[in-house]
Chains A and B, each alone.
Chain A
């Protein structure tokens, strides 16, 4: 693509304009599926690069983020200028530019239009929303507009595919002629300032490493801050800075330079519009006005908002559940299937517990991400996202955020991953970074198993004030722990590290549009793909690392010890029992007894779900047991062989139990002996003040890649095997009865609360950190988040334990 200039059949163009102008749908219409995300180092916004074809030529299209101005106070805002001048590594330099202008608010759209035209690149204007403008009584004289601006203007309707060929052929023609630089009537002092500064910048040019342009001199003069200013300060030093401010003062002539710029631009635009645009005043309100009357109404608007937000939360929190279960289940089955074909050993464990479980651990987030982005894409396309921000801004601004932060924060209660990805809707860089940092504090659904296990085991079932369940109250409180930690964090961030003089919340409320299915699908595809590609690899790597830490050294001695135990136990049984395999010998008598027994187990499991209290459950179990015994007796009565098989079945079952126990002990001992287990012992002194022992410490370390892992880890270390879940009665009992070395109970209410607070505050989620890295384009944020949350979690757990312990918990 670098030889784009030399060959006439290849071109690079930039697509620019305001947000909500139909720029993205033009990009999709031009490039179709031939597009990818461009990586801009050091910024949080992204651009897309795609390829369009016209006759024999190939056009590379760079879709730059929609913006209202080229003013660049932050690295994110600087991207437009840098991309236009071809200064971003890995992104080709544009030969021309398509300026997208919305005919229904042409004046404001032309503001950035005039800024772009000053760069003098070959340009074509794509005029969109002509139908919307007409419905409001606005007619634009396209020929006049083209004549005035000195560039071709093409009317397009990208969703309907209208004007695209015309745009491409016009572009093709235009690219072969040099562009014309737009010259506006700036006040004399201002213009002199731009020229003087331009000369100064040219002198600095060698040190800057690029050749500055006049429009950049204008931007630097007016903005007086931002990344370009910092660069100049760095290479030009004090000498340059003092000259700069001198030039600035002269150019301003006692007024503000932004005022000069805005009045010159809008002054010119106003004059042009008198000839280009005709406005008939229409009686009555537009469709958007009528809809807004309801959607931003004090009562109805709030009601719709609550319903929509409830729907979003509910769908991420529970409706994506079945899909997640399906992914979980299929990866579990895949692991079992693959495991069944491999012989025991490190390789099998790596494949099954490391890689397959790791890939499953990446994909499990997809349903939540897709569901959230389904809503965001539809609501954004519809125009409702801006209204939601309008409604919530007051509330969010109290925490230094803005209205756009609400949906990401709400999603955080389901999962931080979609929440962090959802912060793309926030235009302001600092607000976006703050929201990204705060999202993991919201108690996500992966923390729930931890709460459920410990609350069920240690919080007594009783009512407070006669009607509030204490267990429910504690669960509710756990959700607030994160929020309470997030509030001061937000204020500190906004006042400290991310301090910006003012982050104005000027938000265009675009007219309502019908969501386009294709665009929504595109968004889902992009977001899902980008998560898997960019975050997936990191998550997988971490999963394999933690698997290795929990598996090795896997000493032979431990295996030998348990193999010997197994052999000893098995020696007491006859061959027919030892070799019975329920799957292979499905027709045997033993298998028939097993089927009866399995049916009983199933009935018990059902009863556990359905039974209202312990008495009912006990009765159901004993009924089922009686049924099983009767069926077995009936079968045994058929023949002497059948009678003997019954006693063999009982022996086989006892053997299976012993085998299971030995395997669980083996797993527990391997884990204790592993690097992870040893790390648990090492950190024991540090976690003792939290009321923990090495086992809890180790489980907490093992949970850093994914917090819900703690439940299975506790299952393994307490010799129950790794398949326990938080609802398991056995795990609950074992946890309740676990003892310290001195024989005292390991878990008390104080310890349980301390663990829960730790898990509420800790950044135990590799996926979150990976997504944070991907969205901020830097490791700085995930590292800061990890350190901050871990320290906070430690302090929180420490205070909780010490206070609860002192109160006798």
Chain B
């Protein structure tokens, strides 16, 4: 088990969200879009220029910038 942030999670890997931080408006948006503690998230791919990334959460695809993903604390089980 290891912890880190979502922006560092390799493509194809899944993790469970521990906490979501960031500036108030950003934190609120992340939470609203379903990135909240206890939820599983998978990194699907990154854009050709390396940023943003696409994640699967709550059964849908969400694109977010790495700088935004850095506010999402995760733990990987494998």
CB neighbours (8 Å) of B22 from chain A are: 502
Q: Which residues of A contact B20 (CB under 8 A)?
A: 259
Residues of B within 8 A of A630 (CB): none
Does B52 make an interface contact (CB < 8 A)?
A: yes
Docked-complex contact A105 and B58, CB < 8 angstroms: yes
Residues on B with C-beta less than 8 A from A227 are: none
A298 interface hit (Cβ, 8 Å): yes
Chain A CB within 10 A, most for which of B33, B60, B65: B60
- A504 contacts B29, C-beta separation under 8 Å: yes
Query: Which of A73, A266, A298, A397 is close to B65, meaning CB atoms less than 8 Å apart?
Result: A397
Q: A394-B51, A394-B52, A506-B68 are in contact. Are A262 and B32 (CB under 8 A)?
A: yes
Chain B residue nearest in CB terms to A259: B31
Q: Which residues does chain B contribute within 8 Å of A288, judged by CB atoms?
A: 61
Residues of A within 8 A of B32 (CB): 68-69, 71, 111, 258, 262
The yes or no answer to B41 lying at the interface (CB within 8 A) is no
Q: Is the interface of B mostly helix, strand, loop or mixed?
A: mixed
Residues of A within 8 A of B23 (CB): 501-502
CB-CB under 8 A from B60, the residues of chain A are 104-105, 108, 508-509
Taken residue by residue from 385 to 399, chain A's Cβ proximity to chain B (1 for < 8 Å, 0 otherwise) reads as 010011101110100
Distance to closest chain A CB from B67 (angstroms): 9
Contacts of A256 in B (CB 8 A): 24, 27
> Which residue of B33, B50, B58 is within 8 Å of A506 (Cβ)?
B33
Given contacts A502-B23, A506-B63, contact A68 B33 (CB under 8 A): yes
User: CB of A315 within 8 A of chain B?
Assistant: no
> Which of B25, B27, B47 interacts with A73 by CB under 8 Å?
B25
Q: Which B residues lie within 8 Å of A258 (CB)?
A: 24, 27-28, 31-32
When A and B form their complex, what is the total count of cross-chain residue pairs whose Cβ atoms lie within 8 Å?
Answer: 130
Which B residues are in CB contact (< 8 Å) with A390?
Answer: 47, 52, 54, 63
Measured CA separation A296–B52 after assembly (Å): 11
A107 to B36, CA, bound (A): 13
| CB of A734 to closest CB in B, whole Å | 50
How many residues of chain A are within 8 Å of chain B by beta carbon? 50
In the complex, whether A120 has a CB less than 8 A from a CB of chain B is no
- CB-CB under 8 A for A107 and B59, given A258-B28, A259-B31, A394-B47: yes
Q: B18 contacts the other chain (Cβ, under 8 Å)?
A: no
Across the interface, name the chain B residue whose C-beta is closest to A394.
B49
Q: Report how far A447 CA is from B69 CA in the complex, Å.
A: 43
| CA distance in complex: A799, B58 (Å) | 57
| Interface pair A111/B51, CB less than 8 Å apart | no
Which of A298, A301, A505 touches B68 (beta carbons < 8 Å)? A505
Q: CA of A507 to CA of B51 in the docked complex: distance in angstroms? A: 13
Count contacts on B: residues with CB < 8 A to the other chain.
35
Neighbouring B residues of A395 by C-beta, 8 Å: 49
B28 smallest CB distance to A (angstroms): 4
Contacting B at CB under 8 A, from A682-708, are none
Is residue B70 within 8 Å, beta carbon to beta carbon, of the partner chain?
no
Contact pick for A107, options B26, B49, B58, B61, CB 8 Å: B58
Tell me how far the C-beta of A187 lies from the nearest C-beta in chain B, rounded to whole angstroms.
Answer: 15
Residues of B within 8 A of A298 (CB): 48
The answer for the CA separation of A256 and B30 in the assembled complex, in Å, is 13
Residues A108 and B48 in contact in the complex (CB < 8 Å), given A258-B27, A393-B65, A506-B62:
no
CA of A98 to CA of B70, assembled, Å: 37
The closest CB in chain B to the CB of A105 belongs to B60
Residues on B with beta carbons closer than 8 Å to the beta carbon of A279 = 59
Residue of B with least CB distance to A387: B63
Q: What is the chain B residue whose CB lies nearest that of A262?
A: B31
Give CA–CA (A502, B23) in the complex, Å: 8
A residues less than 8 Å from B54 (CB atoms): 292, 296, 390, 509
Give Cα A73–Cα B24 distance, bound, in whole angstroms.
Answer: 11
> How many angstroms from the CA of A510 to the CA of B59 in the assembled complex?
11
Query: Are B47 and A263 interface neighbours, CB within 8 A?
Result: no
0 or 1 for each of A97-113: is its CB under 8 Å from B? (1 = yes): 00000001101100100
Alpha-carbon gap, A262 to B30, bound state (A): 10
Q: Considering the chains assembled together, what is the distance between the CA atoms of A507 and B68 in angstroms?
A: 12
Q: How far is the CA of A403 from the CA of B64 in the complex (A)?
A: 11
Asked whether A224 is an interface residue with its Cβ less than 8 Å from the other chain, the reply is yes
B34, B44, B63: the one within 8 Å of A111 (CB): B34
Q: List which A288-313 residues lie within 8 A (CB) of chain B.
A: 288, 292, 296-299, 301-302
Q: Is A84 an interface residue (CB 8 A)?
A: no
Within 8 Å CB of A509, what residues of B?
A: 54, 60-63
Contact of B63 (CB < 8 Å), options: A223, A386, A502: A386
Q: Interface 1/0s, chain B 3-43, versus A by CB < 8 A?
A: 00000000000000000101111111111111011010000
Chain A residues numbered 214-265 whose CB sits less than 8 Å from any CB in chain B: 222-225, 256, 258-259, 261-263
Q: Across the interface, do A296 and B47 meet the contact criterion of CB distance under 8 Å?
A: yes
Q: Report the separation of the CA atoms of residues A66 and B65 in the bound assembly, to the nearest whole angstrom.
A: 22
A259 & B48 in contact (Cβ 8 Å cutoff): no
Chain B residues with Cβ under 8 A from A225's Cβ? 24-25
Contact of A108 with B63 at beta-carbon distance under 8 Å, contacts A301-B48, A302-B48, A391-B47 already known: no
Do the beta carbons of A262 and B47 come within 8 Å of each other?
no
Which of B22, B54, B59 gathers most chain A CB within 10 Å?
B59
Query: Which residue of chain B lies nearest to A223 when distances are taken between CB atoms in the complex?
Result: B28
Contact B28 A393 (CB under 8 A): no
Contacts of B61 in A (CB 8 A): 288, 292, 508-510
Contacts of B26 in A (CB 8 A): 501-502, 504
- The interface residues of chain A lying within 8 Å CB-to-CB of B28 are 69, 71, 222-223, 258, 262
Name the distance in Å between B62's Cβ and chain A's nearest Cβ: 6
Q: Chain B residues near A261 (CB, 8 Å)?
A: 31
Does A393 lie within 8 Å of B52, measured CB to CB? yes
A97 to B30 Cα, complex, angstroms: 26
Asked if A194 CB lies within 8 Å of chain B CBs, one says: no
| Inter-subunit contact A502/B50 (CB<8 Å) | no
Residue numbers in A under 8 Å from B30 (CB-CB)? 504, 506
Measured CB to CB, the closest approach of chain B to A496, in angstroms, equals 18
Minimal beta-carbon separation of B52 from chain A (angstroms): 5
**Residue interface bits A61-79, CB-to-B below 8 A is 1, else 0:** 0000000110101000000
Residue in chain B with minimal CB distance to A222: B28
- A residues whose Cβ falls under 8 Å from a Cβ of B: 68-69, 71, 73, 104-105, 107-108, 111, 136, 138, 222-225, 256, 258-259, 261-263, 266, 279, 288, 292, 296-299, 301-302, 386, 389-391, 393-395, 397, 403, 500-502, 504-510
- Some 25 contacts from A to B, beta carbons below 8 A apart, are A71-B28, A71-B32, A105-B59, A107-B58, A108-B33, A108-B34, A108-B58, A111-B34, A225-B24, A258-B32, A259-B31, A259-B36, A261-B31, A262-B32, A279-B59, A288-B61, A292-B61, A301-B48, A394-B47, A394-B52, A505-B64, A509-B54, A509-B60, A509-B63, A510-B61
Not counting A256-B24, A502-B22, A509-B60, a sample of 19 additional A-B residue pairs whose C-beta atoms are within 8 angstroms of each other reads: A69-B28, A104-B60, A108-B33, A225-B25, A258-B27, A258-B32, A279-B59, A288-B61, A292-B45, A298-B48, A393-B63, A397-B65, A500-B25, A502-B23, A504-B26, A505-B68, A506-B30, A508-B61, A509-B54
